[in-house]
Amino acid sequence: MSKATVASLAGLGGIGGGLGAYKLYSSSGVEKSISSGTIEDRLKAEEFSILGTEPSDEANWTKIKEAYEKVKTDPTKAFSEKSGDLKDLCKAALSKQETDSDYPKAKRWCVVPISLSSHLNKLGFKSLSSQDDASNPDKTKWENMVTEHKKDENKSKRISDLGSLDNEGWKVIMKKCKEIGDKQNYDDEFTSKFENYKDWCSEKN
């Protein structure tokens, strides 16, 4: 199975080893080199929308803050500053250099909420249909995914918590993909499942 490369989210292949630039692929599949900039610049280049301060943004801030409150004592997920409004913490983080350790936190807490499947769609990947019956238009593609998933050569890329694919495996992988695709950018597995979803749940537009 071919694997299209997208330098996004976890920065997979994205940071140019100390050269002050990083590369990513646009939705057209054209590789771009982005000059050294801020975390905000990087997130925008990766097709995320920065949360603003307009009244229309408040509903999204409320949703993000509710999620943030649940993890704010975890230094691996929350900003190191323990006090201050989340909007202010985001403002500070977004102005830092793109390679700063606050990048994954800004991606999680400072952008308009988006699902993994929707984000990949922005990057030029189309999710396979999750229609749960034999008339699913992508049934053959799902069955091909099952075949590829079982191959030893793809062991390192497998969805780790998928379960057995021996009985109607196409439905098993499809349902797992639906679960993964619904992950929001502020959820724990949004980044770690990115490659899984790209490899097993979608196709390049």
Tens of pLDDT, residues 27-41: 555 455 555 699 999
Boundary (domain end) residue, out of 85, 113, 141: 113
- Looking at the fold, whether 102 and 126 belong to one and the same domain comes out as no
* Domain that residue 183 falls in: 117-204
Please, which pLDDT band fits residue 78 given cuts at 50, 70 and 90? very high
Query: ∠202-203-205 over CA atoms, to 5°?
Result: 125
Average pLDDT (181-204) is 96
65 assigned to some structural domain: yes
State how many domains the chain has: 2
Question: How many of the other CB atoms lie within 10 Å of CB of 28?
Answer: 8
- Looking at the fold, whether 188 and 136 belong to one and the same domain comes out as yes
- Looking at the fold, whether 181 and 167 belong to one and the same domain comes out as yes
| pTM of the predicted protein model | 0.80
Is the pLDDT at 69 greater than 50, yes or no?
yes
- Looking at the fold, whether 135 and 174 belong to one and the same domain comes out as yes
**Range with the lowest mean pLDDT among 12-16, 120-124, 129-133?**
12-16
3 in Cβ contact with 41 (< 8 Å):
no
142 in Cβ contact with 174 (< 8 Å):
yes
Boundary (domain end) residue, out of 69, 98, 113: 113
11 assigned to some structural domain: no
- Looking at the fold, whether 56 and 134 belong to one and the same domain comes out as no
Boundary (domain end) residue, out of 113, 133, 158: 113
